Structure 1
């Protein structure tokens, strides 16, 4: 399975950070946070880890998980204690140790996105949840990727994985997809005035029409094979009362003797 050849992540990081600092990048992050605020509060546990390409971005503010930290691709100045420096496709975490794994564009900027997803599944506990955020190829942002002068610049050099491909990978890893959401339906104009003229497209986002936003959010759960969920009492049959013979008067007289 081949992917678009892109520069190494250490080479991309400075330009990628600058893009996230732009007005367009900040608007995208704002929409991603808003969509995560609808998903993360319902995911409980003790440990949450975020795979991110920008160590400054922390998206777990709305999570009820007690211990949250991030995995950064390289050591940088100003990093706090809640960060671990490691490659996203070689994570030094034990098997089934995380309750929630959040991939923030980690599959877009890596030479082996399927290996990153496999690592995320490996460290996820049974019953834990996986949240994947990535650029959507079925959006108004895709035509801009076709420009030759932008194929090697972030974020347009990202893989932009389709939902169908991601769903196939989740099935192979025995992960059950629960939700598929999308956000930010505006075109990627650098000029804010041009983006403001296209605000009418946001009604499709509010109406939930299709999955054509600039980014996609997929929520999956790691189920345990062989387990059967317990049904509520409404669907269970009532127990049959077996009649028991009452003691006779002769039996009571014998006991009294």
Structure 2
């Protein structure tokens, strides 16, 4: 298993069109996001990274929405995603699409999200699956600054569990990669999603931050019933006769 943190600088993808079959992936991701955010409530929504900010969230009841990335247009807040300029427990919903794939320190990125999320806050996270056709092509391609790192979805779930998140939803799509263009390929895509989801190119996870219960203070040890009988007990006493 490769180490999560790396010293190699990775340039994140700034537009869906930079991905092969990008428009199709954007449409599929948008559909899943729409179904999720319509049931999320709170005060602040945070979209991290360029691909996240290009998704529409107008179906979300949360009105205050922040687009955050290191640079680019239509960005409300420019910041390093590994060091977010927010107070603790201030964000109710966070969307992170294909940012772990290009993060040099994914653990730190998830820790920052955990820090700024409120108790019971929701994290929507999506990324590439290494055990897929896309993953095979990535292994064969030459290394470049735009090469995704591809962490397995179960590994990402383990990281979330360690941070105290509860997985509410896990889905996969893009089994064929590229987009199915006829009825036969569409049927293969449907069967792949349903029965061979482990080999789909994209995973989509919805996680909920759980509040840590307080540890109760234990009372001192004591018996439920006294073990010593306080009633008087008759004993035999021997009286020695004194001789005069």
Where do 1:20-59 residues align within 5 Å? 20=17, 24-54=21-51, 57-59=54-56
Structure 2 unmatched runs, 5+: 215-244
What residue number does 1:79 align with?
Answer: 74
Where do 1:112-127 residues align within 5 Å? 112-127=105-120
Q: For the residues of structure 2 that align with 1:23 and 1:146, how far apart are their CA atoms?
A: 15
Measured at CA, do residues 179 and 18 of structure 1 come closer, stay the same or move farther in structure 2, by a change above 3 Å? closer
Measured at CA, do residues 225 and 57 of structure 1 come closer, stay the same or move farther in structure 2, by a change above 3 Å? same
Q: For the residues of structure 1 that align with 2:164 and 2:53, how far apart are their CA atoms?
A: 32
Q: Would you say the 8 A contact 1:32–1:183 is kept in 2?
A: no
What residue number does 2:133 align with?
Answer: 140
Q: Which has the larger radius of gyration?
A: 2
What residue number does 2:9 align with?
Answer: 8
Q: CA RMSD in A?
A: 2.6
Q: Which SS does the other structure have where 2:31 is aligned?
A: helix
Structure 1 unmatched runs, 5+: 228-257
What residue number does 1:180 align with?
Answer: 170
Measured at CA, do residues 47 and 5 of structure 1 come closer, stay the same or move farther in structure 2, by a change above 3 Å? same
TM-score (norm 1): 0.73
What residue number does 1:68 align with?
Answer: 65
Q: Which SS does the other structure have where 1:79 is aligned?
A: coil
TM-score (norm 2): 0.76
User: Cα distance, 1:160 vs. partner?
Assistant: 1.4
Q: For the residues of structure 2 that align with 1:152 and 1:26, how far apart are their CA atoms?
A: 22
Q: Which SS does the other structure have where 1:146 is aligned?
A: helix
Q: For the residues of structure 1 that align with 2:87 and 2:45, how far apart are their CA atoms?
A: 13
What residue number does 2:97 align with?
Answer: 104
